[in-house]
Chains A and B, each alone.
Chain A
Amino acid sequence: MKEVLLKIKRQDNPQTKPYWEEFKVPLTPKMNVISCLLEIQKNPVNVKGQQTTPIVWDCNCLEEVCGACTMIINGIARQACAALVENLTQPIVLQPLTKFPLVRDLMVDRIKMFENLKKIRAWVPIDGTYYLGPGPKVSQSVQEKVYPISTCMTCGCCMEACPYVNNKSNYMGPTAMAQVYLFNSHPTGAMEKEKRLDAITGDGGIADCGKALNCERVCPKEIPLVSIIGELNRQTTFRSFSRWLFK
């Protein structure tokens, strides 16, 4: 029987030291990394034959729409559900994301991305949920432009790949920038356009982007992050200039 060899970085809690553990699981057709981890759960024994604890990791939808199972697989941040074993070199090396506080094993706490969405006012300011008729008309070409951005699942791949998201910086990262662009593109959302632009002007904002261009390369939803950030750069500059001019 063919087997899959996995090398997994483990850590029992944020205070203890990380360690590596290797596992072998039977290979099945079209197997993904999640299936490997599920197999280990059923038989938590490492390659040395020692009984161990099941791996802790995050996963929900298993079809790349929830963003939960993001981890570093053979050096690249991506979703474990969409990582098919047949396309990976072995041993398959699994590590937790490094730009977020570790919880346990491959699980991290990505709350900071959700907190950033508060700072940038990532919502359309509707008056209420009572009946107010249809929303504004939107052309299909605009829908096609914004739809990919709204598929951002806050997975953190772009954060992991961005060198400017780190311990020493408050940079909110590409994901938050894309959401500013998304809400500023909506006819009602645009009514708070200036507030959002101001939120990404200054510390942690768009100027912290050093244009490494890694974000767009790793985005599983192929969001055009580079051009979005470029456009926002232009808009924030113009906004700062006009504020200074009309002070």
Chain B
Amino acid sequence: MKVVVVGGGLAGLMAVIKLCEHDVDVDLISYVPVKRSHSVCAQGGINGAVNTKGEGDSPWNHFDDTLLGGDYLANQPPVLGMCEAAPGIIYLMDRMGVTFTRTGEGLLDFRRFGGTLVHRTAFCGSTTGQQLLYGLDEQVRRWEVEGKVKKYEEWDFLSAVIDEEGVCRGCVAQDMKTMEIRAFPADAVVMCTGGIGMIYGKSTNSYINTGSPASSIYQQGAYYANPEMIQVHPTCIPSEDKHRLISEGVRGDGGRVWTYKDGKPWYFLEEWYPAYGNLVSRDVASRGIYKVCRDLKLGIDGQDFVYLDVTHLEPEWIEKRQHGVLEIYRKFAGEEPTKVPMKIFPAMHYTMGGLWVDYDQMTNIPGLFAAGECEYQYHGANRLGANSLLSCFYGGIVAGDKVPEYGMKLKKDYRNISSKVFETEVAKQKTKMEKIYRLNGSENPYRLKAELNEYMSNNVTVVRYTEKLKETDKKILELMQRYQKIGVCDAGGWSNRTAIFIRHLWNMFEFSRAIVHGALLRKESRGAHYMPEYPDRDDENWLKTTKAKWTPDEPQFSLEDIDTSLIKPRVRRYDVRKDEVIKEEAEKEKVATLRKEEAVVG
């Protein structure tokens, strides 16, 4: 069996290793050398209920926190699978030699993270994503030496090859040096292409995260689920080129968020949410900071900033645990964070939504799988910190195990597919590219992107108003018109990055529309999706996945029920401990039943 994996971040590399262990031959296509994938940016850690601190933590408790954090928008069975697999995944990475921070006994250390009350996050200083990625990169290199994997680095995914039966038989990609476009025939394709931060411009994402490959297959008929669920991370350093992340782990290690009120420090998160304090879930923390800066006008010096403070912590201790993050702040903000509180503000960070997949990680196109941030399955309406790395591993593992099962059932080997199927798709992509090379108008593609970024960042992040969303959709349509008048400003037939960017730009427009339309459709507030016009969660009508289907005019949506068979959705509160909420709700229910019985008796 032969499989193409697209993307060499955590999910992609994990899938590759599993596939190799199943004796599958893999072509690994990556936009960048895999060791430079965006997974390196993850800082704080990876969750797993290993319970080394004697807190009585368990995978079920992790599962419960994850569902609550996601405001119950995730189908429950796969989330439980992920939480149950988590301790084993952390042990696996430990065996690979990942340099996890240790306890005095030489065991893995765990820190606290948002949306939970226990120490559940394994970490390597504050560069956990980098360390985990390198761990997998090394194992993939070993398989490369064995001859099971062939890497195509600096190749750009263009489209899936879908035959007349609607089955995916490989993909088409472009060599970003020679600009050659060719087909990669295979029995299945696994998309592990990450997030879409560049749609928002300044986000915590890498410069490469345009979402172009996922958008391409969305335009080929793959469903895009919960596109409106965009995570805005509460603590980032705003800058000109990107908003750099300050890990949630800093608060996990004791960092406090505050601003001045009446001339005195005001720890607003601790005041509003006494149970979770600074470690409320990210959507709640970001809304809190917005409220302080925008509604109460209490940002530092009247600006969009609040403090994230570690100055009360022992400098040597926090340096050891957060060196990477503190160095980023020193370099890019030019101040000493152990002496002066860090100035932070929320920034776009993650997409909970993504390609719709079934429990085997397969999209609605047979043979086309997806794992990692580019799919929607594990985080519902808001992701808990340190669950993203976990979902990358778990999605990669499930895909790596399920793809061979799919392959066993295939009637036709990829080598028996008519070459015409591949030639047609290659020709289509070549024509598309030729059209881009010939663009000779006056619009600059990078400026069009900047305009898209402005609208998306202002209108489709923490607070969403119907009018503003409509305005944004109108703007995107205008940009799509102006796209036709782009001047490519580079006619080079060698490493033409501008032409490649122009292709991505169109795909960004298409995805942006799905995000905006999803937000317009969901008339409630849930997790990261907050609409002041509909301030409450509405389980009766909206405990549903929104599934976008691409059409030439606009995204068409259908709704899908959520599988809540394992835990009944509760009210989402971070001001009190969840055991108290459970007790309260149980008592309420008891009273209600009693009343009902009384009524019957009466």
Closest residue to A83 on the B side, CB-wise? B331
Quick check: is A168 within 8 A (CB to CB) of the other chain?
Answer: no
Known: A61-B206, A133-B91. A143 touches B497 (CB 8 A): no
Return the 7 tightest CB-CB contacts between A and B, nearest first.
A135-B94, A137-B106, A123-B138, A124-B97, A135-B95, A104-B495, A53-B490
Closest residue to A81 on the B side, CB-wise? B241
Closest residue to B125 on the A side, CB-wise? A147
Contact B498 A54 (CB under 8 A): yes
Contact A126 B106 (CB under 8 A): no
Contact B207 A137 (CB under 8 A): no
Label chain A's interface by main secondary structure.
loop
Contact B17 A129 (CB under 8 A): yes
Contact B495 A150 (CB under 8 A): no
Known: A61-B206, A124-B96. A140 touches B101 (CB 8 A): yes
Contact B107 A137 (CB under 8 A): yes
As a 0/1 sequence over residues 102 to 145 of chain A, the CB contacts with chain B under 8 angstroms (1 = contact) are 01100100110010011001111110110111110111100110
B-chain residues with CB within 8 Å of residue A117 when the two chains form the complex: 138, 141
As a 0/1 sequence over residues 264 to 296 of chain B, the CB contacts with chain A under 8 angstroms (1 = contact) are 000000000000000000000000000000000
Known: A42-B444, A138-B102. A30 touches B240 (CB 8 A): yes
Quick check: is A72 within 8 A (CB to CB) of the other chain?
Answer: no
Complex Cα spacing A29 to B241, Å? 11
A-chain residues with CB within 8 Å of residue B18 when the two chains form the complex: 129
Point out which of B41, B92, B145 has the most chain A C-beta atoms below 10 A from its C-beta: B92
Contact A150 B131 (CB under 8 A): yes
Known: A54-B497, A132-B95. A60 touches B101 (CB 8 A): no
Quick check: is A41 within 8 A (CB to CB) of the other chain?
Answer: yes
Q: Chain B: residues with CB nearer than 8 A to chain A?
A: 17-18, 21, 32-33, 35-38, 40-41, 88, 91-92, 94-108, 124-125, 127, 130-131, 134, 138-139, 141-142, 144-145, 153, 177, 206-208, 239-242, 244-245, 320, 324, 327-328, 331-334, 397, 444, 446-447, 450, 489-490, 492, 494-495, 497-498
Point out which of B94, B242, B397 has the most chain A C-beta atoms below 10 A from its C-beta: B242
Report which of B124, B125, B495 forms a contact with A107, defined as CB distance below 8 A. Answer: B495
Complex Cα spacing A138 to B145, Å? 29
Contact A62 B242 (CB under 8 A): yes
Q: How many of A's residues come within 8 Å of B, CB to CB?
A: 69
How distant is A119 from chain B, measured CB to nearest CB, in Å?
Answer: 9
Contact A30 B206 (CB under 8 A): no
Q: Which stretch from A31-39, A193-201, A224-232, A235-243 is at the chain B interface? A: A31-39
Contact B95 A188 (CB under 8 A): yes
Contact B32 A13 (CB under 8 A): no
